[in-house]
Amino acid sequence: MPKAVAKEKTVRVATDKQGQVIDQVVNIIKFMGENRLAEIELETSNLKLSLKKHSVAAHHVVQPQTAVMPMPMMHIEAPAIKKQPEKAPAAEKPAAADNLKTVVSPMTGTFYRAPSPDSQPFIKEGDVVKAGQTICIVEAMKMMNEIKSDKAGKVVKILIENGKPVEKGAALISIGE
């Protein structure tokens, strides 16, 4: 029924004074609201007016969300991996490996040896650590995650450079007895 009312009622636009035109445009907007009109076009010899009402529902577009996962940065040091077995005698490595506990990264992120760039590192090679002691940080998604030792012992080797990316499960630190 709003369309029938809109057709019956006309709005005259007098253009002799600018203030009157503005008042009449306001009246036209009220008329649109009362009659639930989404748009209206008026044209006279002196004026052309086109009004469109925007509704939130008409412009709300729902798009399926797709998860955008950044590609993890991989730090591969193939020459270093090849050089380590060449430097260590084969007989010595299995014997040392029996006494070593390797702390691995529980997540993908960035490895840090200290709580801040100007702080002392949590541990150094040769330090003795207790079970539950914080030994490094892995930053993931702007969250600093403290990594704690699950074994007491001596830090034999820190396997990752400070500030380098690590993958989940990557060996970080070797602790011996």
59: pLDDT strictly greater than 70:
no
> Which of residues 1 and 124 earns the better pLDDT score?
124
Report how far residue 24's alpha carbon sits from residue 114's, in angstroms, rounded to the nearest whole number.
71
The average confidence (pLDDT) of the chain is 74
Span 94-125, pLDDT tens digits? 444 567 889 999 999 999 999 998 999 999 99
Span 117-134, pLDDT tens digits? 899 999 999 999 999 999
8 Å CB contact between 175 and 153: yes
Residues in the chain: 177
Report how far residue 100's alpha carbon sits from residue 95's, in angstroms, rounded to the nearest whole number.
9
Span 149-165, pLDDT tens digits? 988 999 999 999 999 99
Task: Tell me what pLDDT residue 169 has.
Answer: 93
Q: Give domain limits for the chain.
A: 2-54, 99-176
State which fold the 99-176 domain adopts. Answer: OB fold (Dihydrolipoamide Acetyltransferase, E2P) (2.40.50)
